[in-house]
Structure 1
């Protein structure tokens, strides 16, 4: 059975290539996505973020021309969460779309909370990019 998904999007008044270049750099995560991690560290080619539940490993989609920013986050529990993320052109601007999936056993309140965290991160990405 497919899990429930919500698509959270944010328009950004910057070209898609610029947004993608910034958001695809793991070193920028703490600035625009503290919901994912408040600090980031690269160790031997592997990326780690500090989360409220501990250190998590993050694997990023290879750089590509399609705006795919997918992440696989391995939580401290060992559970792997796949986060589909896209930066798509919208004329001279762009839109970032994050697909949030309900995890097994997640309550409605937890799902709503995660949606709010993702929306805040995307809004922060817009603010960062539009200040440039």
Structure 2
């Protein structure tokens, strides 16, 4: 903190509208086992549970992911521990939007990240959100929260 107040990171709030109920979006996206189906920027392999965390192989190597506990508020925050030991907090929410949903991911610029790296990070997240949208909208039979089809 300096005389002007605390230093704050640059942040982008990336959103995608999904023509599925918030319950359906949350049920699918909050299940770590589904990450390889839509979150290539994080998980490119099967997801293994290890205690209260999930281990995946991704672009950054082997990472450990810890998710917010299941909840009725659409909160899917998750912390990603990189191979270096650095932990990146990723706020993520599903919000009602008429008969569908708005998924919001808050992307924080990490310390020391170049402009090019931040743009690449943004592009990766946007690609993942678009993949989630396509997957859910094109596959109405994907399980909803109660296990029934959407």
TM-score normalised per structure 1: 0.97
Identify the residue that residue 71 of structure 2 maps to in structure 1: 64
Which aligned pairs between 1:43-62 and structure 2 lie closer than 5 A?
A: 43-62=50-69
Give yes or no for the alignment of 1:19 onto 2:31.
no
Q: Which runs of 4+ in 1 moved over 3 A?
A: none
- Name the TM-score, length of structure 2 as normaliser: 0.85
Higher deviation after alignment, 98-107 or 50-59? 50-59
Distance 1:45 1:2 in 2: 30
2:128 aligned residue (99, 121, 124): 121
User: Structure 2 stretches of 5 or more lacking a match?
Assistant: 1-6, 141-150
Q: What's the RMSD between the two structures over aligned residues?
A: 0.9
Rounded Cα–Cα distance in structure 2 between residues aligned with 1:59 and 1:49: 11
* TM-aligned CA deviation for residue 43 of structure 1: 2.7
Inter-partner Cα distance in structure 2 for 1:8 and 1:46: 25
For structure 1, the residue ranges without an aligned partner over 5 or more in a row are none
If you compute each CA radius of gyration, which structure gives the higher value, 1 or 2? 2
Instruction: Give the C-alpha shift of residue 91 in structure 1.
Output: 1.1
Number of positions where the alignment pairs a residue of Structure 1 with one of Structure 2: 132
Flag the structure with higher strand content: 1
SS of the counterpart of 1:47?
strand
